[in-house]
């Protein structure tokens, strides 16, 4: 099931962005085989199995061992996609760089997931999500007026600008291969991907609509009509009524009828408008406001935690969250009419199932025996 059914992916185990990108590929129907590091464990964080590994199979290989490396080559010869998240040069030193693998399989799409990219002064340096989005300009946009930038978890770099960019690059390369018959390398860098997410702001800045400091612009919490407000129970609602007719509906539901109120789009009046809206929202608990605004176009929503989002009626109606192996998590997206994604299964470790998968790939019995023994 899924539009990528029949696509074979070999993923070298890693942290966050590359596993997320391969999770997307698996959600869309690709068969993803995660290769864990065999041999003695080295330093570093090893993540627990969970949502990022759903729909995948796993084997352990020590690619520093020549026999295991030959086994990996046998997998590569049958694969469509190979994904690694090493620092530049590491895969080459291990004998699994693009040139080595292309010699085994010229049609292979080679996905490289890094923070800084394969070249540039910072390419060999360490970093994390916060560093990549700092350099791309994305981090500077996030935070309250007069305060320091706020790291938005590791969403923008690792997942949006990293794993999602990787998945898009791989799928694009697969499409091009259908015309050319040739594989290529996909250089997915989180600093590039997070920069892409600031494209709209660059356009706004050019025409003078995003020139104020952080937290003082229309869409970053500066405007009264695009912000969050605390409710009587200490929880929050999000207000996003940018259009004037939606703003008018907000005021009507809140029963605010004051001809002396500043004009909605006048930045000098935003502090006063915020005071009025903040006082109103403090009068009722969050869920009561959510009920009042549920059938309106005022663009008011309850701010839900990730752990309660599955309970919202809209998310329930769309089955937006599923449970796999006892872990609640977001369902695969987007949705397709003819080739819908199947409900993902937990990470498959059973040697019998892995043997069946590799046999279907066309891997020789000798290599299968070594992998699944």
Q: Domain-by-domain residue ranges, the chain?
A: 8-197+323-372, 226-303
The alpha carbon torsion through 337, 339, 340, 343 (nearest 10 deg) reads: 170
Architecture of the CATH domain 226-303: 2-Layer Sandwich (3.30)
Average pLDDT in the 134-154 region?
97
Structure tokens that stand for 166 in this block: 């990787």
Structure tokens that stand for 226 in this block: 């695009």
pLDDT value at position 215? 96
Question: Using an 8 Å Cβ cutoff, are 62 and 89 in contact?
Answer: no
Q: How confident is the model at residue 41 (pLDDT cuts 50, 70, 90)?
A: low
Structure tokens that stand for 258 in this block: 């004051």
Active-site pick, 128, 140, 187, 325: 128
Give catalytic status of residue 128 as yes or no: yes
Give catalytic status of residue 192 as yes or no: no
Q: Residue 274 — φ and ψ, nearest 5°?
A: -60, -40
- Number of Cα atoms under 13 Å in the Cβ half of residue 312: 18
Active-site pick, 27, 53, 68, 158: 158
Structure tokens that stand for 304 in this block: 């839900």
**Candidate CATH numbers 1.10.260.40, 3.40.50.10540, 3.90.1150.10, 3.40.640.10; the one for domain 8-197+323-372:** 3.40.50.10540
pLDDT in tens, 218-239: 999 999 999 999 999 999 999 9
Cut 0.85: pTM above it = yes
pLDDT above 90 (res 373): no
């Amino acid at each position: 099931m899924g539009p990528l059914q029949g696509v074979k992916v070999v993923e070298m185990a890693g942290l966050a962005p590359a596993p997320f990108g391969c999770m997307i590929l698996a959600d869309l129907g690709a068969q993803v085989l995660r290769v864990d590091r065999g041999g003695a464990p080295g330093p570093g964080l090893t993540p627990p199995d969970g949502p990022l590994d759903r729909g995948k199979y796993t084997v352990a290989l020590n690619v520093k061992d020549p026999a295991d490396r030959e086994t990996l080559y046998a997998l590569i010869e049958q694969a469509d996609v190979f994904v690694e998240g090493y620092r530049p040069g590491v895969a080459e030193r291990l004998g699994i760089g693009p040139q080595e693998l292309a010699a085994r399989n010229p049609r292979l799409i080679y996905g490289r997931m890094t923070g800084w990219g394969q070249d540039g002064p910072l390419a060999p340096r360490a970093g994390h999500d916060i560093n990549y989005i700092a350099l791309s300009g994305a981090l500077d946009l996030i935070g309250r007026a007069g305060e320091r930038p706020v790291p938005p978890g590791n969403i923008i770099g690792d997942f949006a600008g990293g794993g999602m960019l990787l998945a898009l690059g791989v799928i694009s390369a697969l499409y091009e291969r259908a015309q050319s018959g040739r594989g290529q390398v996909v250089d997915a860098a989180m600093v590039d991907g997070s920069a892409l997410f600031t494209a709209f702001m660059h356009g706004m800045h050019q025409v003078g609509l995003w020139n104020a400091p952080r937290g003082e612009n229309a869409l970053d919490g500066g405007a009264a009509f695009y912000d969050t407000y605390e409710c009587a129970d200490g929880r929050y609602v999000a207000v996003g009524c940018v259009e004037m007719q939606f703003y008018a509906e907000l005021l009507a539901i809140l029963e605010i009828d004051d001809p002396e109120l500043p004009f909605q789009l006048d930045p000098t009046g935003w502090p006063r408008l915020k005071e009025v809206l903040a006082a109103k929202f403090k009068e009722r608990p969050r869920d009561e406001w959510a009920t009042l605004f549920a059938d309106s176009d005022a663009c008011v929503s309850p701010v839900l935690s990730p752990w309660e989002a599955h309970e919202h009626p809209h998310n329930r109606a769309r089955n937006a969250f599923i449970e796999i192996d006892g872990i609640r998590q977001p369902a695969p997206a987007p949705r397709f009419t003819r080739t819908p994604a199947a409900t993902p299964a937990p990470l498959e470790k059973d040697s019998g199932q892995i043997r069946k998968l590799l046999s279907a790939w066309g891997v020789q019995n000798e290599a299968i025996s070594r992998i699944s023994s």
